[in-house]
Amino acid sequence: MVGLLWTLLSLLGANDEAVVSFRGGSRESVQISEADANGLLVQQGLSLRRVDWDQILRIEGLSSTSQHQAAIDAWLPHAELLWRFRSRLERLDFQGAARLAPEVNQWKDHPSRIGLLVREGLFQIALAEGNLAAAVPHLLAFGDRLAIDGSTNTKGSRLSTPVTGVVRLHPNFPPIVPPGPDIALAREAIATLPPAVDPLSAWLRGAWDAVLARADGQLASLPDWAGSSPVPRAVQLFRACELGTDGENSLGEFALWTKFANRSPSRQAVLDRVEVLARGASSPMSDLAGWQAVEMLRSLSLPTEADRLVQHLRQVDANALLLSASQGSF
């Protein structure tokens, strides 16, 4: 129905003919129905599709009196920078993308597909760097953008990050953050995010702030869910990581989160973390499991076992958090 309405509106409105050259090398004659920060809405026959600015190389043949010219003049000059940022992330060149972060950071909270790309990219960079504290506010903002875009015709992750607008959590990033110098900055960043988009957005901000407070040595509990029933899956997953669950299979790709529920140092808690490693969990989950297992072994006065695990983790390169984490809460 939405697509039909767009088609009818575009047929009745003033469409501007242009030739659009794309980054992939193709050129298409289209009619531009809309131009704004979300890119172009272009029409070919009765087909409408949205094109992001970072996909566009140039636009030719557009009338100088076009109603879309102002938006094109505003955003097309930034297309190359956005394309460079996206393409580096797509080929997993996180160091290269990080060098562009200061330039794209100005759009991280822009209410558009550009803001979505920037927040998603900054989140991926923080994870790749092992800076989980810095990743938290980016994840929250990215989840909010996905939630907003899920009710529009501009929905979807730009970089295939396994986060949805419904759950807004990453399966390889359980809600645990090690101690570090960026905790205060991350909490400040959460406090200065744009307004929460819904009750789940507000709850997640409170829950992640509690996680960061614990990493800073403070006592903090997850907030109660005061929203409507049923309880959102994101809240259930947070609780599973805190308390465990009898139905691990029901958690799907988040099932290993239950292995972090036992926070008190014990042999069973260490075995739970080792199981995460044995199942081949991806980073940062594997880094968190290794760090906690080593710290627990040391707390249990088992320094030899702790050193052996450190050596093993170094061999398999699961060391981003292990080498920098200090003694702290689990």
Per-residue pLDDT of the chain (330 residues; tens, 9 = 90+): 555 554 544 444 455 899 999 998 999 999 999 999 999 999 988 899 999 999 999 999 999 899 999 999 999 999 999 999 999 999 999 999 999 999 999 999 999 999 999 999 999 999 999 999 999 999 999 999 999 987 555 567 889 999 999 999 999 999 999 999 999 999 999 999 999 999 999 999 999 999 999 999 999 999 999 988 899 999 999 999 988 875 555 688 999 999 999 999 999 999 999 999 999 888 899 999 999 999 999 999 999 999 999 888 887 765 444 444 444 445
For the chain, percent helix, then strand, then coil, each to nearest 5?
55, 10, 35
Write the DSSP assignment of 271-303 as a string of letters. Answer: HHHHHHHHTTPPTTHHHHHHHHHHHHHHHTT-H
Q: Please state, in angstroms and rounded to a whole number, the distance separating the CA atoms of residues 302 and 112.
A: 52
**The pLDDT of residue 327:** 40
**The pLDDT of residue 121:** 98
Q: How many CB atoms are located within 10 Å of the residue 328 CB?
A: 16
What is the SS3 assignment for 207? helix
Q: Please state, in angstroms and rounded to a whole number, the distance separating the CA atoms of residues 42 and 55.
A: 13
**Quick one: which H or E segment has residue 43?**
strand 39-44
Q: Which of 196, 205, 85 is nearest to 137 (CA)?
A: 205
Q: Please state, in angstroms and rounded to a whole number, the distance separating the CA atoms of residues 34 and 40.
A: 6
Query: 323 CB contacts (<8 Å, ≥6 apart)?
Result: none
Q: Please state, in angstroms and rounded to a whole number, the distance separating the CA atoms of residues 170 and 285.
A: 10
The structure tokens listed for 29 are: 């004659």
Query: Beta strand pairing status for 56-60 and 16-22?
Result: antiparallel
Q: Which of 2, 5, 69 is nearest to 36 (CA)?
A: 69
Q: Please state, in angstroms and rounded to a whole number, the distance separating the CA atoms of residues 146 and 164.
A: 6
Query: 95 CB contacts (<8 Å, ≥6 apart)?
Result: none
Question: Which CATH architecture fits 2-76?
Answer: Roll (2.30)
Say if CB 265 and CB 330 are below 8 A apart: yes
Say if CB 243 and CB 175 are below 8 A apart: no
pTM: 0.89
Distances (CA, A) of 283 to 16, 51, 131, 321: 48, 32, 12, 10
What is the SS3 assignment for 95? helix
**The pLDDT of residue 149:** 83
Say if CB 330 and CB 295 are below 8 A apart: yes
- CATH 2.30.30.100-classified regions of the chain: 2-76
Residue 60: phi, psi to the nearest 5? -125, 155
